[in-house]
Amino acid sequence: MSETLYPLHLDLAGRRVLVVGAGRVAERRVVGLVDAGADVVVVAPEATARLRTMAEAGVICWRERAFDYSDLLGAWLVHAATDDPTVNSRVAEEAARRRVWAVRADVAGSARTPAVATADTITVSVTSGDPGRTQVIRDSIALGLQDGTLTSRAHRRRPGGSVVLIGGGPGDGDLITVRGRRALLSADVVVHDRLAPTDLLAILDPDVEVIDAGKSPNAHALSQDEINALIVERAQRGLRVARLKGGDPFVLGRGSEEVLACADAGIPVEVVPGVTSAVAAPAAAGIPVTHRGLATGFVVVTGHELGDLEPFARTELTLVVLMGVGRLPELVTTLSALGRPASTPVAIVERAYADDQRTTIGTLESIVESASRVGVTNPAVIVVGDVVAVPVLAAARTAVAGLVEQGAA
């Protein structure tokens, strides 16, 4: 018949805890007890180097001798952690006689120390009759709390609201960071853009307010000023606001404007970076933005404001253009006038990491016609430079390797 245990967390701050034994197991127990603020007394003839150091520093009291019944005086809790079952039994029996809870390191005592998972302000304790099973469950819970697969949103309001800007990555919900997912699931209000990983909205609690800010080319549901005012107003109500964006908030995402708006209003704000589509979209197509011998760096510009591209027309730099499909002819004309060869490779990656991702490859001379023929649309990332040829080279090498293997066979 299995035991029925009553789960309980103890406030040990300032309360005496006796630890009998000073080996490795006892050391782990002592460290945890000290972290909990307990007044720790260790009784043992010998001690580990770490426990000796803690005793010398006055962090714990070490009685350098064998256990005596008098050691139990004033103790609220006892840990019997020696390598001698007889001693552990004596300690536990005397503790029970004095009505003091006792934990044994070798077998079950009147109290048990659970496997513990912590995240933020959450502490979860797990116990079972199988230590291995207990640890597996504890580790699964800890991982779920850390990566956001277990919702840990607080329902008891803390004083004061806050804003967190979350970079959602290139669009697929699996590509948001662990911290970003956790922050999203902790929010009371989510304000999202069109290119954010909106599939994650389905896992929010039903009472979370979700606001679509739009932000599609030339058709914004809310202006930037309205978004700034909205997130500040919700935070001033004491709510936790998540501003979910595509890519990275600080890469052509106007995240800095929203941070300044919060700062001006005295609202605490955090920025959780995301994977920018300037790097992720080319990667989805197998295109690196740098490659030894081809590109020593890369430059990211917005297609909305191409501006002066002369500093970026150097052939050793890869040029990445976000939101530039509508101005592709102007981009090509400008780069050609600045001396980029007509044979310069160009790729347009549409809907990176989506099921219908598509890559159109050409040159400065041909890309406008190619894009028009296949009907390229946003969201898309334009890549200009010799790195566009890397996937082609890789495919060619793979084909050659296959022919060599066939010949060897």
Do residue 336 and residue 368 come from a single domain? Answer: yes
pLDDT of 407 higher than 50 = no
The answer as to whether 319 is a domain residue is: yes
As beta bridge partners, residue 193 has 214
Portion of the chain with pLDDT greater than 90, in percent: 64
- Quote the domain boundaries for residue 72: 16-111
The two three-digit tokens of residue 220, written as one number: 């914004």
The answer as to whether 397 is a domain residue is: no
- Provide the sign of the torsion angle of the four alpha carbons 316, 303, 241, 148, taken in this order: negative
Strands (E), 2-126: 16-20, 39-43, 61-63, 77-80, 101-104, 115-119, 122-126
User: What's the pTM?
Assistant: 0.66
Catalytic choice (71, 193, 245, 248)? 193
193 is catalytic: yes
The answer as to whether 157 is a domain residue is: no
Rg (CA), the chain: 31
Contacts of 329 (CB under 8 A, 6+ apart): 368
Confidence of residue 153 (pLDDT cuts 50, 70, 90): low
Do residue 79 and residue 93 come from a single domain? Answer: yes
The answer as to whether 3 is a domain residue is: no
Q: Mean pLDDT throughout 178-202? A: 92
Q: Looking at residue 40, what DSSP letter applies?
A: E
For residues 84-93, one letter each, b for 16 or more C-beta atoms within 10 angstroms of the residue's C-beta and e for the rest, the string is: eeebbebbbe
Do residue 342 and residue 320 come from a single domain? Answer: yes
The Cα 340–Cα 364 span in angstroms is 8
- pLDDT, the chain, mean: 87
Q: Which residue has the higher pLDDT, 159 or 250?
A: 250
Contacts of 37 (CB under 8 A, 6+ apart): 12, 13, 14
Do residue 177 and residue 144 come from a single domain? Answer: no
φ, ψ dihedrals at 312, nearest 5°: -105, 10
What confidence tens digit (pLDDT) does each residue in 155-186 have? 555 567 999 999 999 988 889 999 999 899 99
Q: Is the peptide bond before 217 cis (omega within 30 degrees of 0)?
A: no
The answer as to whether 268 is a domain residue is: yes
Do residue 22 and residue 106 come from a single domain? Answer: yes
Do residue 266 and residue 170 come from a single domain? Answer: yes
Do residue 311 and residue 366 come from a single domain? Answer: yes
Q: CA angle, corner 8, sides to 179 and 79, nearest 5?
A: 100
The enclosing domain of 328 has a CATH number of 3.30.950.10
pLDDT value of residue 403: 43
Nearest one of 48, 9, 11, 166 to 19, comparing CA atoms: 48
Q: Which residue has the higher pLDDT, 407 or 198?
A: 198
Cα distances (angstroms) measured from residue 37 to each of 14, 71, 75, 174, 203: 6, 20, 14, 40, 38
215 is catalytic: yes
Of the residues 275, 290, 319, which one is the last residue of a structural domain?
A: 275
Catalytic choice (71, 172, 215, 245)? 215
Do residue 77 and residue 25 come from a single domain? Answer: yes
Q: Cβ distance 360 to 331 under 8 Å?
A: no
Of the residues 210, 240, 275, which one is the last residue of a structural domain?
A: 275
What confidence tens digit (pLDDT) does each residue in 357-398 have? 999 999 999 999 999 999 999 899 999 999 998 876 566 555
Do residue 167 and residue 75 come from a single domain? Answer: no
The Cα 332–Cα 365 span in angstroms is 8
The enclosing domain of 218 has a CATH number of 3.40.1010.10
Work out how many domains the chain is built from and give that number: 4
The enclosing domain of 70 has a CATH number of 3.40.50.720
The Cα 314–Cα 384 span in angstroms is 11
Confidence of residue 154 (pLDDT cuts 50, 70, 90): low
What confidence tens digit (pLDDT) does each residue in 7-41 have? 888 999 999 999 999 999 999 999 999 999 999 99
The answer as to whether 1 is a domain residue is: no
Do residue 119 and residue 80 come from a single domain? Answer: no
Do residue 261 and residue 363 come from a single domain? Answer: no
The answer as to whether 359 is a domain residue is: yes
Do residue 128 and residue 105 come from a single domain? Answer: no
The answer as to whether 259 is a domain residue is: yes
